[in-house]
Structure 1
Amino acid sequence: MTDATPRLLPWSSPDGKPCFVLGDGTGFVSRMADDIEEAQLLLADGLVEDARRLLAGRNWTSGELQLLTVELTESLTEVRRVARSRGARLRAASRADRPT
């Protein structure tokens, strides 16, 4: 049986459109998405630490700040997608738990 709510995947199509999967969350694509989301969140954690270290030093160059901004923007985009995907699944699970 498949879940009626499509899951937003942590990647886009080659033309930049969002990708989705239908299923119960145990299939190959869902497991791959789980692994990629976890890696994205871990990378974001590391990037936040790098940003804190760079900014605490107070001797950065404009190039370092530009690179940091690009990397933080990319990471925030990925983390927002993870949050939206997980939020949608939580809402769907909450609706499924309600008595009819």
Structure 2
Amino acid sequence: MKASWNGKVIAESDQTLVIEGNHYFPPNSVNKEYLTASDTHTVCPWKGTASYYTIEVDGKINPDAAWYYPEPKPAAFPIKGYLAFWKGVEVHH
């Protein structure tokens, strides 16, 4: 699977985990040069508190377009640190 935005591959892995229709990419498969930590946090009742990254590619900014669970609840422990994408980021084969 690949996650692409603005013509660049943000993440690529054949070992994503799919939860609720979202592909979560292993941390070592993500090009962190395109990510900046965000102050945004949301809470999922069963996964826990999510943290976000803003994606920046060639001067274009996509705020809070990637999220991850740094300390997920036990039911979601397999996705600890894995990143998922939305807001126009294409996830495809």
TM-score, length-normalised on structure 2? 0.26
TM-score, length-normalised on structure 1? 0.24
Question: Which structure's CA Rg is the greater one?
Answer: 1
- Which of the pair is proportionally richer in helix? 1
- Which of the pair is proportionally richer in strand? 2
